[in-house]
Amino acid sequence: MQFDGFPDHVRVDWARSRYSVIRDVFTRATCAGWELETRHLPTRQTCFPGHPQRWAETSYSGSDWAPPCDGLIADPRFLGGLGRATGIPGLSAEGSMTWINRYQPGDEVPEHVDADGDLQLLICLQAPPEPQRGGQTMIQGREVPLATGDVLLWKATLLPHGMSRIESPRLGESGASRVVCVFRLRGAF
């Protein structure tokens, strides 16, 4: 996978709101392949304290398996470009956390602020089949629609974020309503 730089709007978006969406970074076929490659791996049910909603999560931090896009995330050109676009110096994949969430009908993620990490990078591996019926990323109470292959960068320790409740009963090709891969990166401050 080759990194050719970030679109100009990323720096502007980041300066204004501390998040940015980059459209069509990965093809549907690439995303479907990554999702399929991880389907057999063990998941755990996760939730937020005090909130009854649970969803399936596969964590790769500290495991032998790494998502195929790990090579891109570890590329110094990618991390340097990301650091320049966001103003976060010394971004590193070392010590980062990686996980995939698979959401089903009825799932939601309550708005929250993360306690750790300098930057989150979310890859939408499968968008909800009926996006008008939930499953959208929310940042500061506003929907941030993502299509399959889009990437969202945001400061998760600063911006309240979550996911709207999935009201649609339809499932995508993966057998889930929505699938995302998330990287939590750290900078050198």
Tell which wins on pLDDT, 92 or 71. Answer: 92
What are φ and ψ of residue 36, in 5° steps?
-60, -40
The fold of 9-186 is Jelly Rolls (2.60.120)
How many residues does the structure list for the chain? 189
To the nearest whole number, what is the mean pLDDT of the chain? 86
Does the pLDDT at position 161 exceed 70? yes
Q: Is 55 exposed, middle or buried (0-12, 13-18, 19+ CB in 10 A)?
A: buried
**Spatial separation of the C-alpha atoms in residues 100 and 77, rounded to whole Å:** 24
Tell me the pTM: 0.89
pLDDT of residue 64: 65
Is residue 121 within 8 Å of 151, Cβ to Cβ?
Answer: yes
Q: Which residue has the tokens 């309503």?
A: 177
Nearest to residue 147, comparing CAs of 121, 170, 126, 166? Answer: 126
Question: How confident is the model at residue 91, as a pLDDT?
Answer: 86
Give the residue, 42 or 24, on which the prediction is more confident: 24
For the segment 29-46, what is each residue's pLDDT rounded down to a tens digit?
989 998 888 887 778 777
Q: Give me the residue spans of the domains in the chain.
A: 9-186
